[in-house]
Amino acid sequence: MKYGMNLFLWADDMHDGMMPILENLKKMGFDGVEVPLFDLNLDKWRTWAKRLDDLGLERTAVTVCSEEANPISQDPAVRARGVDLLKQTLDCCQALGAYSLNGPLHSGLGIFSGKAPSEQEWEWGVENLKKVSEHAAVCDVLLGIEFLNRFETYFLSCTADAVRFVREIDHPNCRMMYDTFHAHIEEKNVAEAIRSCAEDLILVHTSENDRSTPGSGGVNWNTTFDTLKEINFDGWLTIEAFGQSLEDLLAATKIWRRMYESEEQLASDGLKFLKQEVAKRW
């Protein structure tokens, strides 16, 4: 088991001001960080790989697709752009030394057709993520495909959707992740949801129902951890929480009020909670 902290809580890009935060996360006991990856400058990520190695922090990465680079767009040029940008992002993951690239890589974030996904959109998604998966293998990076709740996407909005999608892509570098926030909204049976994706699960976003400190809200944590133990999960447990500092993500995350005392307190209390729950069971 490895414990990670998603850096979206502080920023959507890496800069020198992140160093004290990273040092503090290492002191708290995190094994690694989940790095927002939108800048496609390879040299920048090689530099950050060295900095994070020096701190002793491993990394995963996270990104989203935009409307202009949507792998299931009706426009073939936009679909092609989506594939190309994901491939470039994987090149940056390789430079960063990231274990995986996670997120809703399947479609544009917050983009809706007003209908359920069509068979054609599904075919485009599978076809294009197969191409991305092949490049992920070249880069030695895993894809962690994420389903989101129905208010953030119409394409993959539950565990069953993500499992079906990944298995139709059928590539060893295409795996999936599970997010407790989205599952809290969408899943009737959390235990069955986790069991259904056991073969493909590489990472769990531990995210509270209000997007703040894990363990402080309404997520069914006992069932979640009991079932993760049952399936012998030993991947990444990564805290994902959001504040109001990232204006570009406010429209998607809809965080309109402060949910925690401080970012550092959230990270510290969240990590303590995760380790306590794991220690009870593993």
Structure tokens at 237: 């447990």
Residue 157's identity, in one-letter code, is S
CA 51 – CA 130 distance, rounded (Å): 32
Q: Is the pLDDT of residue 233 over 70?
A: yes
Assess contact for 151 and 142: CB atoms under 8 A. Answer: no
Nearest C-alpha neighbor of 67 from the set 52, 54, 55, 82: 82
CATH numbers and ranges of domains, the chain = 2-281 (3.20.20.150)
Tell me the pTM: 0.96
Q: Is the pLDDT of residue 249 over 90?
A: no
Structure tokens at 208: 């509270």
Dmax over CA atoms of the chain, in Å, equals 51
Grade residue 256 by pLDDT with cuts at 50, 70 and 90.
low
How big is the CA angle at 20 (ends 242 and 278), to the nearest 5 degrees? 55
Assess contact for 133 and 144: CB atoms under 8 A. Answer: no
Assess contact for 201 and 175: CB atoms under 8 A. Answer: yes
Q: What is the pLDDT, as a whole number, of residue 223?
A: 98
Q: Is the pLDDT of residue 251 over 80?
A: no
Grade residue 259 by pLDDT with cuts at 50, 70 and 90.
confident
Residue 163's identity, in one-letter code, is V
How many residues can be counted in the chain? 282
